[in-house]
Amino acid sequence: MRDLAPRGVVIENAYVVPVVGEEIPSGHVVVEDGLITSVGPGPAPVVPEGAERVDASGCLATPGLVNTHHHLYQWASQGVTPDGTLFEWLVASYRLWARMDAEVVSGAATAGLAWLALSGCTTSTDHHYVFPKGRGDLFEAEIEAARRVGLRFHPCRGSMDRGASQGGLPPDEVVEDVDEILRATDDAIRKYHDPSFGSMLRVAVAPCSPFSVSGELMTRSAELARSHGVRLHTHVAETADEDEHCREQFGVLPVEYLDRLGWLGPDVWLAHCVHLTDKDVRRFGETGTGTAHCPSSNGRLGAGIARISDLLAAGAPVGLGVDGAASSEMTPLAGEIRMAVLMQRARYGPRALTARQALEMATLGGARCLGREAEIGSLEPGKLADVALWRLGGFHAAIDDPVVAFAYGPTPPLARLLVGGRTVVDGGELRTVPGEEAARAGAAAHRRLTTMDHV
Ligand SMILES: [Zn+2]
């Protein structure tokens, strides 16, 4: 088998889309010691000693994709309430999630991350907020899975503190008390968070959603995150029902409530943001608050279509996310590019979003949401060598513009995926964890969660 991490990789003859700067119809990308050292037209000016040379004729080279929102554990509960509302789906799902343990999380995360890698993702977040008592170290289980699959990982230590007995949605056995949550989150940051350049793992702080947890948890989570210099994440403005809930409980709409709690800012990115007022859009731009746009999940749950073109016009960072597999059934990350274009145009007309804007959201936009735009999200010398090579021969070859073929057509085969210069996918196959093994782990996690015998 080929060396997964040679000292260098030289990609030549590719259509290179650096995302920042001009597109290069036939160019090179040189990778050395995990960094991009040269991007430009024609053959590589210098070939590092011992480097592997890749003839990428017929391929599109893009930055590796960045997934800004996910719930990996949901791989194990796919197909639940396929036709329900968000609230019906959540209530049915919580019954299953209450039985989750570290083994379920390990299998689900392995399958979910392997699937992301196969759709061109090099950096993924995960929002894990269900921690049933006495079920092992769930956070560690997903971190271990990310190490094995080989992706850059931003696990968000999620939380819920309002169970059914306090008027919340989830059953009491999956919620924790505020002190317990903050202690566990503080421990996770100290143990795993690596702020260094090129980091493979950064932790964020992420209560489930402002209307499902206490104001105290939101405020203290923000204080904790800022004391460590880590980022904040949560769900907001996903469905219209949420507006009513927030009005009833807090007397204001969801984003205004977050603003009051100090939860808008350049260190915050928020999932969904479907139902925003004009003022909300302006505040996102002014404060640099990021949005994780999950168009397939929003469609699947009938949540609505987010105001992405308005957010971009306001200068707010916007990335793409697949959301949990239970609300988007194995959506590949590259497929969200197409979905984002189609949904914006369906709502706002043909000029709402271009293929290139959507590709930028999936790369540099995601990097901005995670505060990593100096390291990833574009192909530029000095950045980390996170690169996707897409094979555009075959059926895609009848479309002249490679970016249009990539964004509007079906996701093309992935010829190569490099994470920090290391090969994770080659010729459409995972080279870290075998694909069949990852798929089996996901199916076993589903069986374990949906059968009662381990409870
Ligand atoms: Zn979500």
The structure tokens 């404060």 sit at: 287
Q: What's the gap in Å between 269 CA and the centre of ligand 1?
A: 12
Give the position of tokens 């059968």.
Answer: 451
User: How far apart, in whole angstroms, are the C-alpha atoms of residue 14 and residue 47?
Assistant: 16
* pLDDT over threshold 70, residue 73: yes
Residue 138 — pLDDT band, cuts 50, 70, 90?
Answer: very high
CB of 131 closer than 8 Å to CB of 148: no
Q: How far is the CA of 430 from the centre of ligand 1 (A)?
A: 26
For 318-329, write each residue's pLDDT tens digit.
999 999 877 777
Q: How far is the CA of 126 from the centre of ligand 1 (A)?
A: 9
DSSP-H helix ranges across 328-370: 333-348, 355-360, 366-369
Question: Per-residue pLDDT averaged across 264-274, rounded?
Answer: 97
CA of 70 to the centre of ligand 1 (A): 6
The confidence band for 166, taking pLDDT boundaries of 50, 70 and 90, is: confident
- How far does residue 331's CA lie from ligand 1's centre (Å)? 13
Q: Ligand 1: distance of its center to the CA of 119 in Å?
A: 19
Radius of gyration in angstroms for the set of CA atoms belonging to the chain, rounded to a whole number: 21
Ligand 1 centroid from CA 128, angstroms: 9
Give yes or no for residue 5 having a pLDDT over 70.
no
pLDDT for the residue numbered 205: 98
Ligand 1: distance of its center to the CA of 213 in Å?
Answer: 15
Distance 291 CA to ligand 1 centre (A): 12
CA pair distance 451, 455, nearest whole angstrom: 9
CATH for the stretch 8-63+383-430: 2.30.40.10
Q: Which two tokens stand for residue 240?
A: 């219209």
Q: Measured in angstroms, how far is the CA atom of residue 377 from the centroid of ligand 1?
A: 22
Annotate 97-119 with three-state secondary structure: HCCCCHHHHHHHHHHHHHHHHHC
Question: What b/e readout covers 251-263, taking b as 16+ CB neighbours within 10 angstroms?
Answer: eebbbbbbbeeeb
Question: Is CATH 3.20.20.140 the classification given to domain 65-369?
Answer: yes
Confidence of residue 128 (pLDDT cuts 50, 70, 90): very high
Average pLDDT over residues 391-397: 87
Q: What spacing in Å lies between the alpha carbon of 323 and ligand 1's midpoint?
A: 5
The answer to whether residues 336 and 322 touch, using CB atoms and an 8 Å cutoff, is yes
Residue (of 229, 249, 256, 340) closest to 293 by Cα position: 340
For residue 170, is pLDDT > 90?
A: no
**310 has a pLDDT exceeding 70:** yes
pLDDT at 431 over 60: yes
414 pLDDT tier (thresholds 50, 70, 90)? very high
pLDDT score of 453: 55
Q: For residue 368, how far is its CA from the centre of ligand 1 (angstroms)?
A: 19
Tell how far the Cα of 136 is from the centroid of ligand 1, in angstroms. 23
pLDDT in tens, 39-51: 999 999 999 999 9
How far is it between the farthest Cα atoms of the chain?
Answer: 66
Please give the distance, rounded to the nearest whole angstrom, from the Cα atom of residue 322 to the centre of ligand 1: 9
**What pLDDT, on the 0 to 100 scale, is given for residue 324?**
86
- In this predicted structure, which of 8-22, 30-44, 236-250 has the lowest mean pLDDT? 236-250
If you measure from the C-alpha of residue 380 to the centroid of ligand 1, how many angstroms do you get, rounded to a whole number? 31
| Separation of CA 34 and ligand 1 centre (Å) | 32
CA of 210 to the centre of ligand 1 (A): 13
What's the gap in Å between 140 CA and the centre of ligand 1? 20
Measured between alpha carbons, how far is 304 from 239 in angstroms, rounded to an integer? 7
Q: 236 C-alpha to center of ligand 1: Å?
A: 9
The DSSP element (H or E) to which 436 belongs, if any, is helix 435-450
Cα→Cα distances 27→22, 44, 47, 377, Å: 11, 8, 14, 18
**Among residues of the chain, what percentage have pLDDT more than 70?**
98
Q: How far is the CA of 86 from the centre of ligand 1 (A)?
A: 11
Which positions ≥6 away from 92 have C-beta within 8 Å?
80, 81, 84
Q: Which residue is listed with tokens 């870290």?
A: 432
Bridge partner list, 344: none
At residue 396, does pLDDT exceed 90?
Answer: no
- How many whole angstroms from 71 Cα to the centroid of ligand 1? 6
Q: Give the chain's mean pLDDT.
A: 94
Find residue 128's DSSP bridge partners: 157
Would you list the domain boundaries of the chain? 8-63+383-430, 65-369
Residue 55: pLDDT band with limits 50, 70, 90? very high
Reported pTM: 0.96
Calculate mean pLDDT across residues 258-277: 97
Mean pLDDT of 90-114: 93
For 85-94, write each residue's pLDDT tens digit: 877 888 888 8
Q: How far is the CA of 235 from the centre of ligand 1 (A)?
A: 6
Residue 8 pLDDT greater than 60, yes or no: yes
In this prediction, residue 4 carries a pLDDT of: 65
Q: From its phi and psi, is residue 28 left (phi > 0), alpha (psi between -120 and 50) or beta?
A: beta
Quick one: tokens of 142? 């997903």
Q: Determine the average pLDDT of the residues in 26-51.
A: 96
CA 129 to ligand 1 centroid distance, Å: 10
Q: What is the structure's pLDDT at 269?
A: 98
Ligand 1 center–CA 308 separation, angstroms: 17
* Ligand 1 centroid from CA 168, angstroms: 17
Closest CA to 110 of 97, 94, 96, 124: 124
SS3 155: strand
* CA 69 to ligand 1 center in whole angstroms: 6
Q: How far, in Å, from the CA of 271 to the mean position of ligand 1?
A: 6
Task: Name the band, by pLDDT with cuts 50, 70 and 90, for residue 230.
Answer: very high
